C-alpha cells in the first residue's frame, strides 16, 4: 500500500489506484487513510458522510461503501491473494481500520521528520533542523485532500494539518535565521507575510531578516502594515512582544544581532518576552 493525503488523495495497492470516483466512497477512503492503522468507529465514519442528518439506511449504505472499496482492493491484489482486501481494510469491533506498512503513509513520514527536526532544533543543531524540516515540508504535494469533499471529521483534521504545516514552516525559518541566512529568506518571508497578513510570528521573522540585511526602515514598514491590519480588521494592537521588537529595531538593539558563532540567541519573538 502507498497512501498519500498531503495533496490530492492517492491510495495504491500493487501499483494500482484504488481511489473511487464516486464522492462518498472516496470520502470514506480519505478518512480511513488519514487515520491509517487506527480503528475508526462506525459512528465517526457515518458522521463524516452525513453529519447530524443521517438517513435510516446510513449503516447499510456505509457497509456498501466498504464493500466497494474492498472490491477495488481485491482487483488490485488479484486472485492470488483472495483475503488481502479484508486484511487491508479490516473489520474491527465497532468499526474499520485501513492497515498500512511502516513508511507507506505520507502523514506518518511527515510526522517522523517533524519530530526529528524539533529534536535537532531543541539540541541547537540548526543545520540538521533546517534540513529535516525542509524534508518534512517537501512531503506535501499541495493542500491536503484537495480533491476530496470533506465532512465535519475530516474538516477538523485538515485544519490541524494546515496549522501544523505553518508551524513547521515557522520553525524551519527560525533555524535558517539562526544560521545567518536572512538575505536568502527575504523573498520567501515577503510572500508568506502577504499570504498570512495577521500572523505575528512570520512578520517578526520578516522584520528580523530585514534588520539583519541592513534594511531597518523596511522592518518598521512591515510592523506598521501589520499593525494597521490588526487595528482595522480586529480592533487589536500588536502583542507586547512584537511592540518590543519594533522598539528594538528603532534602538538598533544588539539582541537582534547574531552571536559571534553566527547563531541567533533565541527565537525572534522570545528575544523580547517579558
Would you say residue 1 lies in a domain? no
Query: In angstroms, rounded to a whole number, what is the distance separating the alpha carbons of residues 105 and 2?
Result: 6
Q: Is residue 260 part of a domain?
A: yes
Q: How many domains does the chain have?
A: 3
Q: How many residues does the chain have?
A: 274
User: What average pLDDT does the structure give for the chain?
Assistant: 92
- The residue among 122, 145, 178 that closes a domain is 178
Residues 88 and 111 in one domain: no
- Return the residue matching grid coordinates 492470488: 80
Note the pLDDT tens digit of each residue in 93-104: 999 999 999 889
Per-residue pLDDT at 262: 47
Domain span at residue 121? Answer: 104-178
Find the helix packing angle between 58-77 and 23-34, rounded to 10°: 80
Q: Is residue 164 part of a domain?
A: yes
pLDDT surpasses 90 at 1? no
Same domain, 132 and 216: no
Q: How far is CA 204 from the centre of its chain?
A: 21
My answer on whether 24 and 63 are in the same domain is: yes
Residue 148 CA neighbour count, 13 Å, CB half: 34
Q: Which pTM does this prediction carry?
A: 0.89
DSSP 8-state code for residue 105? B
Per-residue pLDDT at 82 exceeds 90 = no
d(CA 88, CA 99): 5
Q: Judge whether 133 lies within some domain.
A: yes
User: What CATH number does residue 229 fall under?
Assistant: 1.25.40.10
Amino acid at each position: 500500500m502507498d497512501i498519500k493525503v498531503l495533496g490530492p488523495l492517492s491510495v495504491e495497492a500493487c501499483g494500482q489506484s484504488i481511489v473511487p470516483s464516486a464522492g462518498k466512497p472516496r470520502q470514506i477512503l480519505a478518512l480511513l487513510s488519514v487515520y491509517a492503522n487506527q480503528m475508526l468507529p462506525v459512528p465517526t465514519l457515518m458522521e463524516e458522510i452525513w453529519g447530524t442528518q443521517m438517513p435510516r439506511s446510513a449503516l447499510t449504505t456505509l457497509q456498501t461503501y466498504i464493500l466497494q472499496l474492498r472490491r477495488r482492493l481485491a482487483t488490485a491484489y488479484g486472485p492470488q491473494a483472495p483475503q488481502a482486501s479484508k486484511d487491508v481494510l479490516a473489520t474491527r469491533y465497532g468499526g474499520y481500520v485501513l492497515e498500512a506498512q511502516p513508511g507507506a503513509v505520507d502523514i506518518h513520514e511527515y510526522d517522523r521528520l517533524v519530530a526529528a527536526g524539533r529534536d535537532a532544533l531543541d539540541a541547537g543543531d540548526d543545520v540538521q533542523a533546517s534540513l529535516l524540516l525542509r524534508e518534512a515540508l517537501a512531503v506535501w504535494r499541495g493542500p491536503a485532500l484537495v480533491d476530496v469533499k470533506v465532512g465535519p471529521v475530516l474538516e477538523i483534521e485538515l485544519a490541524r494539518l494546515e496549522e501544523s504545516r505553518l508551524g513547521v514552516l515557522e520553525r524551519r525559518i527560525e533555524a535558517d535565521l539562526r544560521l545567518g541566512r536572512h538575505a536568502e529568506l527575504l523573498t520567501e518571508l515577503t510572500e508568506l507575510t502577504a499570504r498570512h497578513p495577521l500572523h505575528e510570528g512570520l512578520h517578526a521573522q520578516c522584520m528580523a531578516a530585514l534588520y539583519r540585511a541592513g534594511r531597518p526602515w523596511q522592518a518598521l514598514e512591515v510592523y506598521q502594515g501589520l499593525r494597521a491590519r490588526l487595528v482595522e480588521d480586529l480592533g487589536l494592537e500588536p502583542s507586547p512582544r512584537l511592540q518590543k521588537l519594533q522598539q528594538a529595531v528603532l534602538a538598533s538593539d544588539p539582541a537582534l544581532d547574531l552571536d559571534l558563532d553566527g547563531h541567533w540567541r533565541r527565537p525572534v519573538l522570545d528575544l523580547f518576552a517579558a
